[in-house]
Structure 1
Amino acid sequence: MAEGHSWCYITTASVPPDSWAHMQPMLESWKAALQDLPGYVGSDTMARREDKDTMRFHVRVTWNYREQLEEFVDSPWETENIIWAKTDQLFDVHSEIFENFI
């Protein structure tokens, strides 16, 4: 295993700008809850306005080991579970697992 090796779970989705205004602060507070989970390394949220009706965002959650990431994916804290709980106006939602070689 390479030094600096980790596992990432990346979720992308689109929402109307009004929904994003409520979702962004929730995602920031969600990070604090994730800090207590074993193997959590960090998370990033990135967003851009695609047009006047759409915000596209990406959430990356990084874990030390794949097993820890898999536990996260099966938990209520998983990214899609959290964002769907906040709004039903999501579209183009997709999540993937990546091996991260730093």
Structure 2
Amino acid sequence: MKTILTTGSNGLLGQKITEKVLVEGRVNLVATSAGVNRYPVKEGYEYAEMDILNPEQVKAVVEKYRPDAVIHTAAMTNVDTCEADKELCHRLNVDAVGTLLSICEEKIYS
């Protein structure tokens, strides 16, 4: 069975993906997010705490689970918050994506 890793599983989109994957039951799901798991269902998948801004933590999780695919939903989406903290918004919505991609490519081609 294939393994799918989702980032941002505590967010709205991440929770909807978790719900859909659990209903279909065709893949192993590893849901990740910063902090504790806030999804109400705790069975049928694994949860790994992963701060997308921490490259060492991202690398450790990717190495541990070796996912076949990653669904990246972690993001800062509140427009007012993005305007108020443009640096953090850029780190989350741009830099973290590049880091995640690099780590996944490294694992695929190593």
> The TM-score by the shorter chain falls in which range?
0.3 to 0.5
More strand by proportion, 1 or 2? 1
More helix by proportion, 1 or 2? 2
Higher relative contact order, chain-length normalized (CA < 8 Å, sep 6+): 1
